[in-house]
Amino acid sequence: MLTLIDSHTHFDDTRFDDDRDAAYQRAQIAGVKTQVLAAVSARLWPRLKTVASRYNRLYPSYGLHPAYLAEHRPEHLEALADWVVREKPIAIGECGLDYYLPDLDIDAQAAYFTEQLRLARRHDLPVIVHARHAVDQVIKYLRRFSGVQGVVHSFSGSEEQARRLLDLGFLLGFGGPLTYPRATRLQGLIRDLPLDGLLLETDAPDQPLSTHPGQRNEPAFLPEVLACIAKLRKTDPAEIAAATSANARRLFRISDAVPTSAH
C-alpha cells in the first residue's frame, strides 16, 4: 500500500462529528497516514487542537481564513501570535485572499494576510494560502515577504502563475477539482509542472471528487487524487506518492515518526 500525506484537511469540521473515528480509520486503511489540519477562525482553534490531539499524525496549523473575515478582529492576530508560541503548529494558515465571495473587504483581507505572513517570517513557519480569484494579488504580497515558504492550496491559476509561485519557493496543492472531466486546463497544468512542486490534498469535507459528487469529502479519497495525477502524467503512482509525501515532509518539517503527544 502507498503511504500518502493529505496536506490540507478540515478534519475538525462538525460534518465529521458523527463518525470522525470511522473516517480516520478509513483514511488509515487507504494509506493516508498523515493529515495537515488548516484552521479558519480564532473561534475554532480550540476545537482543531482537540481533534488533532486525538489522533496520530494529525498536525495543526492555525490561522485566519479570508472567507471568515466577518469573524476576525485585530486582537485575533495577537491571539494567533500567542498560539504559535504556545502550541507550536507546523504552519500558519489557512490565510490568504478571496476575491470570489461577495462583500469581503479587500483591504481588510490584505491586512490580515500581511500580518500572518509577517508572523510566519518571524517564527520561520510555512504558510497555507487560500487564493481564490486572487492569485496575482497573493503573489504580490508573497514577494514582499521573501524567504517565507508555503503552499497555495487548491491551486487553480495559470501555468505562468504556477511558475512564479514555484520560483518563490511555494508548493501547489491539488485535489478534487482536478478529477472532473471539465477541468481540462487544470489537467494540462498538472502534466507539465515539476513533481517536486506538488502536494496532494482533499480539503475534506469540502471539494468532493468527481466520483463522489455532492457527498462529504474525506481524506480516505486521497488515493483517487493520486490515481488521477498518475494517469495524467503517465507516471507510476508510487513515484508520485513518494515525491509528494517528501515534499510535504520537507515543507512542514514533519517526520515519519508518530508524534509522541498523540494517542
- For a pLDDT cut of 90, what percent of the chain falls above it? 95
Residue 53 is part of a domain; what is its CATH number? 3.20.20.140
Domain that holds residue 154: 4-252
Residue 260 has pLDDT above 60, yes or no: no
Domain membership of residue 259 (yes or no) is no
Statement: residue 259 has pLDDT above 70: no
Residue 261 lies in a domain: no
* Parallel, antiparallel or unpaired: strands 170-174 and 58-62: unpaired
The Cα angle at residue 166 between residues 88 and 9, in degrees rounded to 5: 45
Does 225 reside within a domain?
yes
Burial class (CB in 10 A: 0-12, 13-18, 19+), 2: middle
Is residue 89 situated within a structural domain?
yes
Residue 248 falls inside a structural domain = yes
Residue 262 lies in a domain: no
pLDDT at 261 over 80: no
- State how far the Cα of 19 lies from the Cα of 233, in Å rounded to an integer: 35
Mean pLDDT of 161-167: 98
Classify residue 184 by burial, with Cβ atoms within 10 Å: 0-12, 13-18, 19+. exposed
Distance between CA atoms of residues 90 and 187, nearest Å = 30
Q: Is 54 exposed, middle or buried (0-12, 13-18, 19+ CB in 10 A)?
A: middle
The mean pLDDT value for 55-62 works out to: 98
Tell me how many domains the chain contains.
1
pLDDT digits (tens, 9 = 90+) for 114-128: 999 999 999 999 999
In a domain, 95, yes or no: yes
In a domain? residue 97: yes
Contact 228, 202 (CB under 8 A): no
